[in-house]
Amino acid sequence: MPDISGLYLTVHGRVQGVYFRAFVESEAEALGLAGYARNLPDGRSVEVYAEGDREALQKLLVKCRQGPPGARVERVEEEWKETSLGMGSFEIRY
């Protein structure tokens, strides 16, 4: 039985305007995760929430620490949560 969790991330650095949200969406979908990614108003960070299998979430965390080409991730704040799998898919929010 999979270990289902939720993972909330705030990714700081040069992560806006470099396709970071699309990168996260692609990685999350490949891992079978649901959730969202959105730019934060500070212009230097992206909020990511994903839920699903904990092992898949760990893999997404590693990808978010790297980012896509063109991004420069300076730091990632992470918070693990219990979840009820309320999200149906992964989306980019505006």
pLDDT of residue 40: 98
Which entry of 21, 65, 75, 93 is annotated as an active-site residue? 21
pLDDT digits 0-9 by tens, 48-69: 999 999 999 999 999 999 999 9
The CATH code of the domain that includes 60 is 3.30.70.100
The interaxial angle of helices 20-30 and 54-66, nearest 10 deg, is 150
Which entry of 38, 39, 75, 93 is annotated as an active-site residue? 39
pLDDT of residue 87: 81
Structural domain including 36 reads 4-93
Residue 21 annotated as catalytic = yes
pLDDT digits 0-9 by tens, 9-50: 999 999 999 999 999 999 999 999 999 999 999 999 999 999
* Number of domains composing the chain: 1
- Neighbouring CB atoms inside 10 A of 75's CB total 10
Residue 65 annotated as catalytic = no
Q: Which of 93, 75, 79 is nearest to 39 (CA)?
A: 93
Q: Which helix (H) or strand (E) holds 63?
A: helix 54-66
